[in-house]
Structure 1
C-alpha cells in the first residue's frame, strides 16, 4: 500500500479532485462543470483490500472512488455487502463488473443479457442505488454488449484501453489509465498533465 499512498498523496498535492460517475456523465453529455483537475478513480473486481487498505488512504486525502463489483464474488474473500454499503454511505460509487467476470465477447446474447442484467439488479437490490456504469471484464465486449447496455439502462461503459476521457468520446467505451503494482512514482506522475 506504500505505492498507493504515495500516488494518492501526490494527486492531492497536485490539486486533483475525485468526481463521481454522475459528474462524469453530466460533464460529457450536458457539459456540466467539473473541478479544474477532475479524476475518476476506479477499482475493478471488489477485492477486500479495496475497503481495508485503499479506502482509508483515499478518505485521508479527501478522495472518493468507483468500485466495479463482480456480484457472484461478493463476500468470498472480496468485499461484502455491508462493506459496499459503507463505501456508498461515505460518498463512494458502485458499478457493475458482471456476475461471473466472463469474456462478454465470447458469450451468446442471452448469456450477456444475464450477466449484465442480473449483476445490475443484485447491486441495486442490495445497495439501494441505481447502477449506471459497467466495466467490461478484461476489457472484452462486442456490438451485442453495447446494444444490451443501452436496453438495460447503463449510461457509461469502461474499457481497458489506455487513455483519458474527452468530450465527444463514445459513452459506452470510455478509456482508462491502468496503474500497475510496482509502478515507479515518476512513471505514475507522467500519466497526468
Structure 2
C-alpha cells in the first residue's frame, strides 16, 4: 500500500529541481545539491512506504459461507410380526397386550430386564393323593415330586405371583425358565409342609395357594394357614368367596362383586395382603367378570385352558370354540390376555416341558434375528419421546 504523502513529496522534489534550474547563474552558496536532496527525500518516502506496508496485515480473501446440506429424513423400518410357534395347537395363537410399541421395545431390549425368550409355565395343582388318582385333576404325590424334580433338572425355577405380574407387565427380570406352581383350593398346613416345603428348603421355591375365602372353610384350616403364612414361601391369592358357582356374563353384579371383593376383604383381614390375581373358580370367566376384577384392582387372572406357556407380551389364546376341546372357553373375545392366562394341568405338564424349552429358544433366536430392525425403529421413532434404551446396571 502506497503512503498518501508519496505523490506530494515527489511533486515537491521535482518542483525544487526545476526552480533550481531557472535560477540565475550566480555562484551558489556552499550548500547541498537539490538533486541530492530530492533523491534522499524519495528514498525516505520509499522506506516509509515499505515500513507502512509491512505493518498493515494483508486483507484476507473473502470466501462464501458454506450452506449446510439438508438433514436426511430417516424412514422407520417395518417391524417384524410376533413370534409364532408350530408347537402350539393350530387354533391357539399368541396374543399381544401391550399397545404402546415404544414402551414394549424399551422393556424388551432393556438389558436389566428379562432377556427375550424368557418363558413361564403355569401349572395347576388341584389335588394330591398318596394312592391311585381316581378323580379329575388329581395327581399322585410321587408323580408330583418327579414333576418338580424334572422342572429343576431342566433349569426351571419357581416364582411368585408378584414376580409373574412384574414380568408380564413390564418384562421385569425373572429366571429365563420359570414355573408358577398354583395350588387350587384351600388346604391344611400339612398339605403344604409335606408336598412343597422340601422344595422350598432345597431350592427356595415358592408355591401359590388359590385360597377360597368363604364360610365353608374350617376354622382350624384357617388358623393353620394364617400361622404358616408369615414364613413367606406360600403366596395366597384369590379363588372366590363362595367358589361353588363359576363366574360368567350371566352372573349378577352382586354375585361378581361378592366373589371378587369377598376374596380381597378376607385375605386382607386374615393374611394382611391384597391379592393381585384371581384364579377363576371352575375356570369360568367372561367380559363382565374380567371388567369387575379389573375395577377392583386385580392384575392377573387364570383359566383352566392348557394352551401353552407365556412370555412377555405373548399369551396363546383363541377366538372360537373348539369342538374337539369343548371345555376350553375362548379367551379372545375378552380382549384381556393378562386376565385370561392359560395353565397346564399337573398330570400332563411333564410331557410339555421340552416343548416349552424349545419355544423359549426359538423366541430368543427370533428376537435376536430382528434386534437390529427393532432398535433402528426405536432410535428413529421412540428416542425423542422415551429416551435411549437403558444401559446395563451391574
TM-score normalized with structure 2 length: 0.45
Three-state SS of the structure 1 residue aligned to 2:196 is helix
- Matching residue of 1:43: 183
Contact 2:200–2:233, Cα closer than 8 Å, also in 1: no
Say which is worse superposed, 128-137 or 165-174, in terms of deviation.
165-174
User: 2:174 pairs with 28, 34, 41, which one?
Assistant: 34
1:83–1:186 distance in 2 versus 1, CA, 3 Å? closer
Structure 1 residue 35 displacement after superposition:
0.9
Which structure has the larger Rg?
2
Structure 1 residue 113 displacement after superposition:
0.8
Work out whether 1:138 is the aligned partner of 2:282.
Answer: yes
Between the aligned partners of 1:97 and 1:18, the Cα distance in structure 2 is 20
Structure 1 residue 26 displacement after superposition:
1.1
1:55–1:81 distance in 2 versus 1, CA, 3 Å? farther
Between the aligned partners of 2:160 and 2:147, the Cα distance in structure 1 is 19
Contact 1:51–1:83, Cα closer than 8 Å, also in 2: no
The CA RMSD over aligned residues, in Å, is: 2.2
Between the aligned partners of 1:7 and 1:119, the Cα distance in structure 2 is 30
Between the aligned partners of 1:85 and 1:37, the Cα distance in structure 2 is 31
Between the aligned partners of 1:88 and 1:143, the Cα distance in structure 2 is 35
Between the aligned partners of 1:14 and 1:157, the Cα distance in structure 2 is 27
Between the aligned partners of 1:11 and 1:83, the Cα distance in structure 2 is 26
- Matching residue of 2:379: none
Structure with the larger RCO, 1 or 2 (CA within 8 Å, 6+ apart) = 2
1:71–1:98 distance in 2 versus 1, CA, 3 Å? same
- Matching residue of 1:115: 259
Work out whether 1:89 is the aligned partner of 2:253.
Answer: no
1:60–1:89 distance in 2 versus 1, CA, 3 Å? closer
User: 1:165 pairs with 310, 316, 329, which one?
Assistant: 310
Structure 1 residue 90 displacement after superposition:
3.1
Poorly superposed stretches of 4+, deviation over 6 Å: none
1:173–1:186 distance in 2 versus 1, CA, 3 Å? closer
Structure 1 residue 190 displacement after superposition:
4.8
Structure 1 residue 126 displacement after superposition:
0.3
Three-state SS of the structure 2 residue aligned to 1:24 is helix
Structure 1 residue 57 displacement after superposition:
3.4
Three-state SS of the structure 1 residue aligned to 2:339 is coil
Contact 1:96–1:131, Cα closer than 8 Å, also in 2: yes
1:85–1:40 distance in 2 versus 1, CA, 3 Å? farther
- Matching residue of 2:343: 176
1:123–1:39 distance in 2 versus 1, CA, 3 Å? same
How many residues are treated as equivalent by the alignment?
189
What does the per-residue CA deviation read over 1:118-163, in whole Å, with 9 as the maximum and x for residues that have no partner?
1111011100112111000111011110111011111110111112
Between the aligned partners of 1:20 and 1:114, the Cα distance in structure 2 is 26
- Matching residue of 2:150: 10
- Matching residue of 1:74: 217
TM-score normalized with structure 1 length: 0.87
Between the aligned partners of 1:34 and 1:45, the Cα distance in structure 2 is 26
* Unaligned stretches of 5+ residues in structure 2: 1-140, 316-336, 358-394
* Unaligned stretches of 5+ residues in structure 1: none
